[in-house]
Chains A and B, each alone.
Chain A
Amino acid sequence: MANEEYVTDSSSDFTEYWIDLFLGIKGNEYFCDIDDEYIRDRFNLTGLNQEVSKLPTIIDIITDLMDIELQPEENRDALEHNARILYGLIHARYILTSRGLNKMFEKYRNGDFGYCPRVHCQLHPLLPIGLNDQPRLASVKLYCAKCEDLFNPKSGRHAVVDGAYFGTSFPAMFFQNFPQAIPIHSKDTYVPKVFGFKLHEYSKLNRWRELQRKKLEARLAKNGVEITNVVGGFKAEEDKPVIQQ
């Protein structure tokens, strides 16, 4: 049904689906659309009645069984607000299911979540992640699988989206499901230079970090994990200018 929405959309010009309206709001570009069946299955909503009041009404609004205009005017704003929260919280659960993951994979491939700003990551696509699974604690962050780090969204309108709408588990689940999407990590690092000479303390720290990496490589090798130029491993380097003094 969710997929047919776009087809029927063009023929009926008087009403738009709530989910389509929601996804069209600026700042909601990170969300994917959730199947109606998933929302209507009460099992999937276990515990969410503690986060929003009037759960059944809100579900009806999201799934377009009830028009929000029919509600008393003073309640509409609160209902719409709660509907958005509920959609977000269901979204966090939905994107861990196989259909949700596939939809998010499509968005990931299109770069809908942006690209890693780190120079050595060479514009690797990002994934949204929450720092908490409880709503209203932290805004959404972006995870780069190449440098395994968290970034703030570039645009201010994404910086206000709640992280709980994506959840803490999403990227881990994503890469369990799509191991082919795991990148080959880059060993490149940056050391500031003054007139061509590396700054000593930064260089020293860099050497220590290289040591940590080598230890990791040794640990992995000991356990028989292949790491050179394979998914999840490191890109082989021709020469390592880092060590030179």
Chain B
Amino acid sequence: MPSEGEEDYIPWIQQFCEAFAHDYFVPVAQEFIEDDFNLTGLSLQVPYYREALYTILDYQVDTADDNDASITNGGNRPVQNKAKSELPNKALLSHSADLLYGLIHARYITSKPGLTAMATKFERNEFGSCPRYYCDGMHLIPVGCTDIPGQETVRLYCPCCNDIYLPSSSRYLNIDGAFFGTTFPGLLVKMFPEIENQCRIRINKFNQNDFGLKLFGFRVNELSSSGPRMKWLRMHPKTQEEKQEYENCEFQVPDNDFDSEVEDTDGEGDLIDDDDKTMASDDE
């Protein structure tokens, strides 16, 4: 290759993945990017699309001849030299390249090799553990709230409590959620049933354990405004009755029998409430 025979040359993708706060990303396979089919529609979303693409692939940006040469010979990076004449702003190009790479990344991690690579990272707990106590350190999965770039930063999904969390470190607060996409966690969980097994073990372990605020050992009654109002959020059907009810939720929330059920369960519910959910008074 030409004069830039640098020994310590690092491919663009590797550089990107090793950059500060980019540790959630996996390197996208060169072949994946080279396949135009995988990039369908991205040219409309990314400014300086072609230049950005060539930057990612470490091609020369300027002429067709140079591109061919660098495909066969591996990369060299004359992008910077030529960029000034062709593109008004080097920073703009680098931003475009980041954006394009992020969007390709979101697609790549829903493909088989991408999923496998991300599963390895998941296995190594590289996305962090669920902060929720009862999730017992379940590993998290990065997720975007939207697939449109520039709207929301990356969030972390916990398959155990089925909720999304903010990354614990603020350095991830400028990573775009769209670079991981909304689809990824669902697909990962479905592709690797082991993850669901891990969750089931944790759920069974803690399902008996019914957390609620207590004052000197007495539970706060749910009629109190500080009483338990969010238990439904983490509930799992336990009793036979609840499992039946759960089955009825197959396609929609059953509206009609829900009124009658309230009447049914209320009699005994009150008794239980009086029994162990005594409203503790606060006269200290």
Contacts and interface: CB of A to CB of B under 8 A. Distances in A.
Interface string A106-136: 0000000000011110010000000000000
Nearest to A215: B262
Interface of A is mostly: mixed
B166 A199 contact: no
A154 B284 contact: no
B218 to A, nearest CB: 9
B157 interface: yes
Contacts of A209: 232-233, 235
Contact of B253 (A141, A191, A207): A207
B230 A148 contact: yes
A145 B265 CA distance: 27
Interface residues of B, number: 65
Given A182-B225, A193-B183, A218-B262, A208 B249 contact: yes
Given A117-B165, A204-B246, A169 B229 contact: no
Nearest to A200: B250
Nearest to A230: B225
Interface stretch (B8-16, B79-87, B209-217): B209-217
A148, A182, A230, A231 interface centre (most CB from chain B within 10 Å) = A148
Size band of the A side of the interface? 35 or more
B225 A205 contact: no
B169 to A, nearest CB: 9
Interface string B134-160: 100000000101000000000101010
Interface stretch (A41-49, A52-60, A72-80, A220-228): A220-228
A219 interface: yes
Given A171-B213, A225-B223, A214 B258 contact: yes
A104 to B, nearest CB: 14
Interface stretch (B23-31, B58-66, B185-193): B185-193
Nearest to A143: B213
B50 interface: no
Interface string B172-187: 0000000000110111
A223 B227 CA distance: 14
Contact of B186 (A141, A192, A210): A192
13 contacts: A119-B164, A149-B132, A150-B134, A171-B213, A172-B213, A191-B162, A192-B186, A208-B245, A215-B262, A216-B222, A216-B229, A216-B232, A233-B225
**10 closest pairs, A vs B, by CB?**
A232-B225, A176-B282, A192-B186, A212-B232, A175-B226, A150-B133, A172-B215, A148-B230, A207-B249, A172-B213
